[in-house]
A and B are shown apart, each in its own frame.
Chain A
Amino acid sequence: MKGKVIFKFFVLLVAFCFCFTAPALAKGKIKIGVYLPMTGAVAAYGQMEWNGLQVAHEMEPKVLGKDIELVLVDTKSDKIEAANAVSRLIEKEKVVAIIGEAISGNTMAGNPISEAAKIPSISPTATNPLVTQGKKYAFRACFIDPFQGQVAARFARNNLKAKTAAVIIDIAQDYCVGLANFFVKEFVKMGGKVVSTTYIQTGDQDFTAQLSAVQAAKPDIIYAPNYYTEDALMAKQARDLGINVPILTGDGAQADELIKIGGKAVENMYFTAHFHKKAATTELAKKYIAKFESKYKKEADAFGALAADAYFLLVDAIKRAGSTDGTKIRDALASTKNFPGVSGVITMGPDGNPIKSVVINKVENGKFVYVTTVNP
């Protein structure tokens, strides 16, 4: 009996608490919607980007004299949820612009909805060329896969003096397939020869079959634009087999785990990337890096930097538009010229893809070292 009374009292207490519950009030604020994979398969990217966004928000919390509020909605790394999230941000939260998603597939699910509602959206890291294709209100802060592949090919031909290349592609990732494809096109155009093309899948552990084919073809370099886990394991097995040619990869390799898993085998691995601390020369970048490192006590990463750029680009566009009208922000965003962002100087192309330089990094003594910058 006593238990029942306590229980009733508890229920009343909870109900009482809820009477005072109100969604954090947002009067006279400018709302920017953020949809990111905070849980699910690619939650790590969402977390990194949200960290970057928060730092950027602290650096520039106001625009047009009003406070900016970031409204975060989780997508569970899923397309259906991503579409729901964008719909919710527009209809329920009444945001003026949207930042997200982290990966291309989900951004393609969200973009048609913001396009129809005439709300500009900017994705920090969706690199698939299809994301902005034929869309007026869709933008991104990163460069696209074809561009990164081309730069890698130029670097391989001009700086590494490679005549032949072996390509190893993770066919489960749109990103890897896109990069490899445009690398091959450019490399062949520049007089190089692709002597071996082999395929892997995300989650593979053993690459002996692919590497044996590479060994038999005797290439000057290996181009393996895959994610860090596969890159590290593959490098290890390649070195064990006695393949000592340089390995070139994409920005998917830029994670501390690469060095943790790969150890000595990933030494001298080159990769094209969006961002390196050393290459960041703008005022904004210096401020961002200092603030990020004092807040999170770790090195600023590319995902966070690109998310911050997405935010800064948007705030800059709202400032220049002088209004929160979707179409006006979109026009301002499209006319962004030489914006000194965190990941470099950004000019927005007519198709919603930024024109910006690519950084080339390399692993040396267990650290990512800046090599050079390739301008567009």
Chain B
Amino acid sequence: MTKERRNLLLNIASIISVYIILWFFQKYGTEYQIRILNNMAVFITLAVSYNLVNGICGQLHLGPNAFITIGAYTAALLTMSPAEKQMSFIIKPLIWPFSVIQAPFPVSLIAAGIAATIFAFLISFPVFRVRGDYLAIVTLGFGEVIRVLCNALQSVTNGPLGLKGLKPYTTIWWSWSIAIFTVIVIQKLINSSWGRAMKAIRENEIAAQAMGINPFKHLMMAFLISAFFSGVAGGLLAHLITTISPTLFTFFLTFNLLIIIVVGGLGSTTGAVIGAMLFAWGGEALRVVESPMDIGPVHIPGIPGMRMVLFSVILMLVIIFARRGITGRNEFSWDWLFSKLSGK
């Protein structure tokens, strides 16, 4: 058996085992556990796609919340029933195509991805004229523009009242299938000649250009793919919490994603996955420290916000002891695992 064949089989086996684990949770787990699993999958999709631009291409892009917003609103407007829309839009009625159309969930997710991609295409021209801090500022600006537009365009987004009554279509099957699909697509891309070109741009753009790589073309490619998956994840998120409003998509969402990929390991998909899982699960697990406790005879009343303190301490420890995040730029691979196991 060749190495490639072995790895392929192991990949398939591990995907199947993920589904088996999910099946067990679906059958025996509580709603609460399933909700955390869903959050995990959505954050994996978001982090892995965000990491493509930030980690692989090395561009400090701070506007994924714009793509997520567009995806969430597109998907929500497509799946809501016309009756529900009429009931929710109490300030200004919803404008025509949106007020009558209704699409199934998978269609709405694809539409969400496409809408985000179109937006990314339009803004990529101004965005990639600049680099470094300036690129960060421009993308941050677009993120805010979208949020403000959501507040202002009341006849499309219902303004700050938000949309509610979305059907909870996001099951663990949907969210995890999309997360796995995202990881596979982005991993394939990174390991292709496109991905190597992107890494070359990250290391030294001028040198890459001298080697005949067109930076704009490659960066735009990464940007569009990242936007597509962010948009899809936005649609998933909307149907997970069943209500959306512009306050959900502030800069803090971007900030959380940035924490995830930096702690996980900037430039590593494995790191992004681990970071996202820790983030989604850790936030809930740490709630224990906020509840009232009896340590021996001492009664400690619950202190809200304690988990944020602990969370920050953990973040600091990770950054002090693993300066490049949990995985650094390394990726998990079967070859690595077998060489470790055989003690070489």
User: Is the beta-carbon distance between A171 and B299 smaller than 8 angstroms?
Assistant: no
Contact digits for B271-313, partner A, Cβ 8 Å, 1 yes 0 no:
0000000000001100110111111100100101101100000
Which of A21, A38, A117, A177 is close to B295, meaning CB atoms less than 8 Å apart? Answer: A21
A61 contacts the other chain (CB 8 A): no
Report chain B residues within 8 Å CB of A84. Answer: 32, 35-36, 39, 283-284
Could you say which of B152, B160, B243, B252 contacts A109, with CB atoms under 8 Å apart? B243
Q: Which one of A125-133, A150-158, A211-219 is at the B interface?
A: A125-133
* Smallest beta-carbon distance B278→chain A, Å: 15
Q: Is the CB of B88 within 8 A of A130?
A: yes
Roughly how many angstroms separate A71 CA and B30 CA in the complex, as a whole number? Answer: 19
Q: CA separation between A88 and B178, bound complex, in Å? A: 25
| A299 CB–B CB distance under 8 Å | no
Whether the Cβ atoms of B293 and A133 lie closer than 8 Å is no
Q: Which residues of A contact B287 (CB under 8 A)?
A: 73-74, 88
Please indicate the chain B residues that have their CB under 8 angstroms from the CB of A105 in the complex: 162, 243, 245, 247-248
Q: Which residues of A contact B148 (CB under 8 A)?
A: 201
Taking a contact as CB atoms under 8 Å apart, the answer to whether B161 and A178 are in contact is: yes
Asked whether B159 is an interface residue with its Cβ less than 8 Å from the other chain, the reply is yes
A112 touches B302 (CB 8 A): no
Q: Which residues of A contact B159 (CB under 8 A)?
A: 171, 174, 177
Assuming the A-B contacts A38-B304, A109-B241, A172-B160, are A133 and B87 also in contact, with contact meaning beta carbons closer than 8 angstroms in the complex? yes
Interface stretch among A75-83, A310-318, A356-364?
A: A75-83
B165: Cβ under 8 A from any A Cβ: yes
Cβ-closest chain A residue relative to B284: A84
Chain A nearest CB: distance from B291 CB in Å?
6
Is B160 a contact of A72 with CB atoms below 8 Å?
no
Q: Does A173 reach chain B (CB closer than 8 Å)? A: yes
Q: Which residues from chain A contact B31 at a C-beta distance below 8 Å? A: 87, 90-91, 113, 117
Q: CB < 8 Å: which of A20, A130, A181, A199 contacts B164?
A: A130
Asked if B164 and A108 sit within 8 Å, CB to CB, the answer is: yes
A87 in contact with B32 given A21-B293, A38-B304, A177-B161 (CB within 8 Å): yes
Closest chain B residue to A181, Cβ basis: B91
- Taken together as a complex, chains A and B put the C-alpha atoms of A76 and B299 apart, in Å, by 25
Main secondary structure of the interface of B (DSSP, over half): helix
Q: Is the CB of A79 within 8 A of B292?
A: no
The distance in angstroms between the C-alpha atoms of A18 and B87, with both chains bound, is: 52
Known: A17-B295, A24-B294, A88-B284. A109 touches B242 (CB 8 A): yes
Q: Decide yes or no whether B90 CB sits under 8 A from chain A.
A: yes
Closest to A105 in B: B245
B102 within 8 A of A: no
| Measured CA separation A77–B188 after assembly (Å) | 38
Is residue A39 contacting chain B, with contact meaning CB distance below 8 A? Answer: yes
- Tell whether A22 is near chain B: CB-to-CB under 8 Å: yes
| Chain B residue contacts of A3, Cβ below 8 A | none
Chain B residues with CB below 8 A from A72, complex form: 302, 304
Check A23–B291 contact: CB distance below 8 A.
yes
Report yes or no: B39 in contact with A112, Cβ–Cβ below 8 A. no
| Interchain CB contact under 8 A, A79 and B90 | no
CA distance A46 to B305 in the complex (A): 12
A residues in contact with B304, CB < 8 Å: 38-39, 46, 72, 74
List CB contacts (< 8 Å) of B25-68 with chain A.
30-33, 35-36, 39
Contacts of B35 in A (CB 8 A): 83-84, 87
Say yes or no for B175: interface residue by CB 8 A criterion. Answer: no
- Tell me the smallest distance from the CB of B202 to a CB of chain A, in Å: 31
Sorted nearest first, the 10 A-B pairs with minimum C-beta distance are A38-B304, A91-B32, A108-B243, A174-B160, A39-B305, A74-B304, A20-B296, A87-B32, A91-B30, A24-B292
21 A–B contacts from the bound complex (CB under 8 Å): A21-B293, A25-B294, A38-B305, A73-B287, A79-B241, A79-B247, A80-B237, A80-B248, A83-B240, A84-B36, A84-B284, A87-B31, A88-B287, A90-B31, A105-B248, A108-B162, A108-B164, A117-B31, A171-B151, A177-B160, A199-B152
Measured CB to CB, the residues of B under 8 A from A are: 30-33, 35-36, 39, 87-88, 90-91, 148, 151-152, 154, 159-162, 164-165, 168, 237, 240-248, 252, 283-284, 287-288, 290-296, 299, 302, 304-305, 307-308
Name 14 extra pairs, CB < 8 A, besides A79-B248, A87-B35, A171-B152: A20-B295, A22-B294, A39-B305, A71-B291, A74-B290, A84-B36, A91-B30, A108-B162, A108-B164, A108-B245, A109-B242, A112-B242, A130-B88, A130-B161
